[in-house]
Amino acid sequence: MESAPIRAAEFFAGIGLVRTALERVKGAQIEVAWANDIKQAKYDAYAANYPDAFDHFKVRDIREVEAADLPTGIELATSSFPCIDLSLAGNRRGLVGEQSGMFWEFARILEGMSPRPSVVLLENVQGFATSHKGKDLEDAMRRLSEFGYSLDVLAIDARHFVPQSRPRMFIIGIQKDRLPTHARAEVPPTSDTRPAWVQAIHAKHRATLSMHYINLPSLPEGPQDLEGFVEADVNPGLWWNDDRVDAFVKSLSEIQKARFEALLTADSITHRTAYRRTRQGVSVWELRKDGIAGCLRTTGGGSSKQALVRVGKGSKAIRWMTPREYANLMGAHDYKLLAGTPNQQLFGFGDAVVVDVIEWIGNNYLLPVLRPDSVTSAG
């Protein structure tokens, strides 16, 4: 017998990459029955890919959302609440900040839901773990624990799935009466999804909060270069002129310049990414050592945008990365770029989750909890 669809609510839905990931989970249908974001441009991108958005996506400040506004039967609630107050690159105001403090609005709605979702999945930057010396994370986990959730913490870098360095942490809460028999209450062993700092979170809080862990398979190795993720044919006008390329090279430090020259004289063409940084009050470019992209960010200034460097066989060419390349690096190769300006598209992807990471969590964690029979029958 086919299992009933898993009804999900997507808080801070953005352009819908959580939905994209959940729909790829094998073994059971996961349908997003409700979604919310405050930005009209993100809804427009979402709706261009999911025409049913009109029925369930609410463009509204979460502070105006009540639990009664959500449909019944929600089993999974996802929340990628704003990271700017938690990020090491942000202002570090933590959960008292205007943006990251939206966690408390998510918690307020969650508290009022009856019944509450069986599973919640929270995603944010790893700076959440150290914000205010760990107090912000403790306060958030304590609140979720008060709602009857047993908690697990994961750390996953998207580079295991796509050529982008994007470390993120995840909190998974499971209602205690839905905990699977293979969930364990002790401190988890160190693994690629639970490095020492995650293990320390379990060790610190297991005596006062309900904590658990579930054994997970090892993460894949991931691609080592940008092959298949870079657009082969772009408007030639996007490539910088010689003067701008020369200025890029001149701004490099001696170490960076040596790295660039080694690539330039190589027998093959290589793609690298670069960020603009301010060092001692001077704007300079820095080229990544490896062949993958740095963490894509929301476009809010020059240093937030990532450039693509094509170099080798004595030739060099540089341009800004395109929205399609951002989409590819977020695991959204098939995402339709039909809405918004290029800058809005870059912003939307920089503010999103990597599809492959959420899909992996869905297949290996969420589905075995929510539809264990589907996993058994699929196996």
For 40-67, write each residue's pLDDT tens digit.
999 999 999 999 998 999 999 999 999 9
- DSSP per-residue letters across 12-64: T-TTSHHHHHHTT-SSS-EEEEEEEES-HHHHHHHHHH-TTHHHHEEES-GGG
Residue 6 has pLDDT above 70, yes or no: yes
- Answer whether residue 337 is part of any domain: no
| pLDDT recorded at residue 58 | 95
- Per-residue pLDDT of 260-294, as tens digits, reads 999 999 999 999 999 988 777 788 899 999 999 99
Q: What is the CATH number of the domain that holds 360?
A: 3.40.50.150
State which residues form the domain around 152.
Answer: 6-223+352-378
d(CA 243, CA 252): 15
- Answer whether residue 345 is part of any domain: no
Same domain membership, residue 154 and residue 29: yes
Residue 379 has pLDDT above 60, yes or no: no
Do the beta carbons of residue 176 and residue 138 sit within 8 Å? no
d(CA 352, CA 123): 10
Name the percent of the chain in helix, strand, coil, to the closest 5: 40, 20, 40
- Answer whether residue 72 is part of any domain: yes
Using only C-alpha atoms, the chain has a radius of gyration, in whole angstroms, of 22
Same domain membership, residue 284 and residue 259: yes
- Count the residues in the chain: 379
- Work out the burial of residue 207: count CB atoms within 10 Å of its CB; fewer than 13 is exposed, 13-18 middle, 19 or more buried: exposed
Residue 112 has pLDDT above 70, yes or no: yes
Structure tokens at 161: 């799935």
- Answer whether residue 310 is part of any domain: yes
Q: In whole numbers, what is the pLDDT of the chain averaged over residues?
A: 91
Same domain membership, residue 121 and residue 18: yes
Same domain membership, residue 75 and residue 136: yes
- Answer whether residue 231 is part of any domain: no
- Answer whether residue 342 is part of any domain: no
Same domain membership, residue 74 and residue 159: yes
Q: What percent of the chain has pLDDT over 90?
A: 80
- Answer whether residue 252 is part of any domain: yes
Same domain membership, residue 165 and residue 138: yes
Same domain membership, residue 280 and residue 206: no
| pLDDT recorded at residue 84 | 55
| pLDDT recorded at residue 301 | 47
| pLDDT recorded at residue 16 | 96
| pLDDT recorded at residue 348 | 94
Same domain membership, residue 252 and residue 181: no
Same domain membership, residue 82 and residue 159: yes
Query: Looking at per-residue confidence, does 103 or 174 come out higher?
Result: 174
- Answer whether residue 327 is part of any domain: no
Residue 24 has pLDDT above 50, yes or no: yes
| pLDDT recorded at residue 259 | 95
Q: Which of 173, 183, 252 is nearest to 216 (CA)?
A: 183
- Per-residue pLDDT of 205-262, as tens digits, reads 999 999 999 999 999 999 999 999 999 899 999 999 999 999 999 999 999 999 999 9
Query: Looking at per-residue confidence, does 249 or 375 come out higher?
Result: 249
Same domain membership, residue 255 and residue 205: no
Question: Considering its fold, how many domains does the chain have in total?
Answer: 2
Contact partners, residue 314, CB within 8 Å, separation at least 6: 264, 265
Same domain membership, residue 272 and residue 200: no
Mean pLDDT of 167-189: 96
pLDDT band at 85 (very low <50, low <70, confident <90, very high): very low
d(CA 238, CA 252): 22
| pLDDT recorded at residue 130 | 86
Which residue in the block uniquely carries the two structure tokens 């929510």? 370
Same domain membership, residue 293 and residue 204: no
